[in-house]
Amino acid sequence: MTHPRKIVALLAATTCLAGPAIAQDDDTLKIGLILTLSGPGAVLGEMSRDGFQLAAEEIGDIGGMKTEIIIADAEQKPDIAANKARELVERDKVDIVVGPIFSNILGAIHKPVTDSGAILISPNAGPSVYAGAECNPNFFATSYQNDQMHEVMGAHAQEEGYQNVFLLAPNYQAGKDSLAGFKHSYKGEVAGEIYTQLGQLDYSAELAQIAAMQPDAVFAFMPGGMGVNLVKQYRQAGLETIPFLSAFTVDESTLPAQQDAALGFFGGSNWAPDLDTPENKAFVEAYEAKFDQVPASYAMAGYDTAYLIDAALREAGGVADKEALIAALEAAPFTSVRGDFSFGPNHFPVQDFYLTEVVKREDGKFATSVVKKIFDDYQDNYVADCQMN
């Protein structure tokens, strides 16, 4: 993964066999990818990495520079990720760090990376604190601010005129943020609000309550395996007549497991594989040809991030002048597969959000599909708290 010389040096140091340090090469662009690549969350990290590398291959020399990409596994352990991030910036002297997937990992690596002067670009995690009070000139997110996907669904529920919606999320920080985000744009009654256990297997108890209440709709935030469990059990409990709204619960990373059970379920997203732009068509085709799976938004954001870096580097004329590079990144001089894309003053995207629905494509694969646009050029709610300095 990284360089074998690390361990050589490590062993040398521990066994007192000092060797010469390896000189740094100044004209090479070094990008560190730090993503969760092992453990149960690995599928998201793999998609992000594959998306990034696909773009990197298409581009060739990113920013016209000789490019070296170093990939590190953040596992699912924040302290290990913090160490690896430090290793990337202190030892490998990377110019740009791309990552991570999970918000708790971002919390761990944000300070070590930005303190070192390197630029950190998150292709997924976008917690509120870094969009607001603790925004940082060296930090960009190419994905979204975490609350936004939930706000999309809240706005959709509001538009549909639902009078009472049942809310379901796992009992952890992202779950709480999710329901808060939904309620930000949904003003109707909340039929019930349940926080389930992290990694819960059996949702019979919650489904029974939903069946008893017969709400107008259900909103769920159940990422990963939890979403697979919930969606299958929801369908089996015969609740499919109640509209199922969700965020991060039915997407291309979980659909291979949910399959028919998720058909017709709704999600909120800033993108879907069938979003109609020429760049997106090319991306989805290339990705599917190479990896034989339908890309999820994680892959898309990884792909976009590589093109963003490429365009900004060409604008800034290399990595030497960090301020010029940051200014170039802020201008987002590339064509996103999402179409409209620009950065707000807090370095979070201003983009469109859609209601998506799970469909079975003609080739038998499952994917999300754009139903309609919910928000146009939408910005997060924390930008006002951001004092960039």
Partner 1 sequence: MTRLTPTRAWAATILFAAFAILPMITQALGDSYLIVIATRILAYAIAALALDLILGYGGMVSFGHAAYLGIGAYAVAILGRAGITDLGAHMLAAIAVAAVFALITGAISLRTRGIYFIMITLAFAQMGYFFFVSLSAYGGDDGVTLNARSTVFGQPLLENNTALYYTALALLIGLYLLAVAITRSRFGRVLTGARENPLRMQAIGFSPFRYQLTAYVISGCMASIAGVMLANQASYVSPSYMDWHRSGELVVMVVFGGIGNLLGAVAGATIALLLEEWLALLTRHWPILFGLILVLVVLYSRDGLSGFFRSDRS
Partner 2 sequence: MTSLFLLQLLNGVQFGILLFLIAAGLTLVFGIMDFVNLAHGVVYMIGAYLAVTFTSMTGSYGLGLLLTLPATLLVGLVLELSVFRRLYDRPHLDQVLATFGLVMIITEGVQVIWGAAPLSVPMPELLSGSVPLIGAMRYPVFRLVIIAAGLLTALGLYLVIGHTRIGMRLRAGASNRAMVAALGVDIGKLFTVIFAFGAMLAGFAGAMVAPVLTVDPGMGEQVLILAFVVIVIGGIGSVRGAFAGALLVGLVDTLGRSFGPILLRAVMEPAAAGQAGRVLAPMLVYILMAVILAVRPSGLFGAKT
Residues binding partner 2 (CB under 8 A): 38-40, 42-43, 46, 171, 195-199, 201-202, 204-206, 208-209, 211-212, 214, 224-226, 228-229, 232-233, 236-238, 253-254, 256-261, 293
Residue 50 binds to partner 1 (criterion: CB under 8 A):
no
Q: Say which residue the tokens 């999600």 belong to.
A: 267
Strands 366-378 and 349-360, bridge-based pairing: antiparallel
Nearer to partner 2, 132 or 170 (CB): 170
Nearer to partner 1, 12 or 257 (CB): 12
Q: How far is the CB of 319 from partner 1 (least distance, A)?
A: 20
Residue 386 binds to partner 1 (criterion: CB under 8 A):
no
Torsion of CA 269, 274, 276, 277, to 10 degrees: 90
Residue 201 binds to partner 1 (criterion: CB under 8 A):
no
**CA 37, 279, 334: angle at the middle one, nearest 5?**
80
Strands 349-360 and 189-196, bridge-based pairing: unpaired
| Partner from partner 1, partner 2, none contacting 107, C-beta within 5 to 8 A by type | partner 1
Nearer to partner 1, 49 or 347 (CB): 49
Contacts (Cβ under 8 Å, ≥6 apart) of 381: 145, 147, 184
Nearer to partner 1, 199 or 238 (CB): 199
Residue 180 binds to partner 1 (criterion: CB under 8 A):
no
Q: Is 168 helix (H, G, I), strand (E, B) or coil?
A: strand
Cβ neighbour number for residue 335 with a 10 Å cutoff: 14
Amino acid at 28: T
Compute the distance between CA of residue 130 and CA of residue 162 in angstroms, rounded to an integer. 33
Residue 91 binds to partner 1 (criterion: CB under 8 A):
yes
Strands 139-141 and 119-122, bridge-based pairing: parallel
Nearer to partner 1, 14 or 241 (CB): 14
> Site map for partner 1, 14-43, x if CB under 8 A?
x-x-xx-x---------------xx-----
Residue 127 binds to partner 1 (criterion: CB under 8 A):
yes
**CA 120, 69, 124: angle at the middle one, nearest 5?**
40
- State both tokens at 164: 């009472």
Quick one: which of 59, 68, 83, 233 contacts partner 1 (CB under 8 A)? 83
Residue 9 binds to partner 1 (criterion: CB under 8 A):
yes
| Partner from partner 2, partner 1, none contacting 229, C-beta within 5 to 8 A by type | partner 2
Kind and range of the H or E run holding 109: helix 103-115
Cβ neighbour number for residue 247 with a 10 Å cutoff: 29
Asked if 42 and 36 count as a contact pair (C-beta separation under 8 A), the reply is yes
Q: Which stretch binds partner 1 (CB under 8 A): 1-9, 201-209, 288-296, 330-338?
A: 1-9
Asked if 279 and 32 count as a contact pair (C-beta separation under 8 A), the reply is no
| Partner from partner 1, partner 2, none contacting 133, C-beta within 5 to 8 A by type | none
Radius of gyration of the chain (CA): 21
Q: Say which residue the tokens 């028919």 belong to.
A: 260
Residue 193 binds to partner 1 (criterion: CB under 8 A):
no
Residue 73 binds to partner 1 (criterion: CB under 8 A):
yes
- State both tokens at 123: 């292709």
Q: How far is the CB of 103 from partner 1 (least distance, A)?
A: 5
| Partner from partner 2, partner 1, none contacting 152, C-beta within 5 to 8 A by type | none
Compute the distance between CA of residue 116 and CA of residue 202 in angstroms, rounded to an integer. 45
Q: How far is the CB of 97 from partner 1 (least distance, A)?
A: 15
The residues that touch partner 1, with contacts defined as CB under 8 A, are 1-4, 6-7, 9-14, 16, 18-19, 21, 37-38, 73, 76-79, 82-83, 86-87, 90-91, 103-104, 107-108, 110-112, 127, 171-174, 176, 198
